[in-house]
């Protein structure tokens, strides 16, 4: 289920689609977190599950989740461009 914030973000990003070249779309589709960032995300996500997350770590986790959400929206558009 999409949140209102996600829907609003999709609407804001939609005008960028005509400028999304196939080359850029392929780059976005292949973009993943580097091993260090993924490891840190796994660490703070586990600490949150355990209830042992410090306030600064919660901020860090939320920032990673926001970045991942934005990347996911870009990647969805990229997949759509490549499909056509």
CA 63 to chain centre: 10
pLDDT, position 11: 80
Contacts of 5 (CB under 8 A, 6+ apart): none
pLDDT, position 36: 96
Tokens 């989740």 belong to residue: 65
What are the extents of the domains in the chain?
Answer: 4-83
pLDDT, position 5: 61
Contacts of 29 (CB under 8 A, 6+ apart): 75, 78, 79, 82
Tokens 């999709």 belong to residue: 10
How do the pLDDT tens digits run along the chain, 84 residues long?
A: 456 666 787 787 778 878 889 999 999 999 999 999 999 999 999 999 999 999 999 999 999 999 998 899 889 889 988 998
pLDDT, position 44: 97
């Amino acid at each position: 289920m999409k949140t209102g914030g996600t829907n609003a973000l999709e609407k804001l990003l939609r005008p960028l689609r005509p400028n999304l070249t196939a080359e850029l779309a392929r780059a976005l589709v292949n973009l993943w977190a580097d091993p260090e960032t993924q490891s840190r995300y796994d660490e703070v996500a586990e600490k949150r599950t355990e209830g042992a997350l410090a306030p600064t770590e919660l901020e860090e986790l939320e920032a990673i989740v926001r970045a991942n959400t934005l990347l996911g929206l870009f990647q969805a558009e990229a997949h759509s461009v490549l499909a056509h």
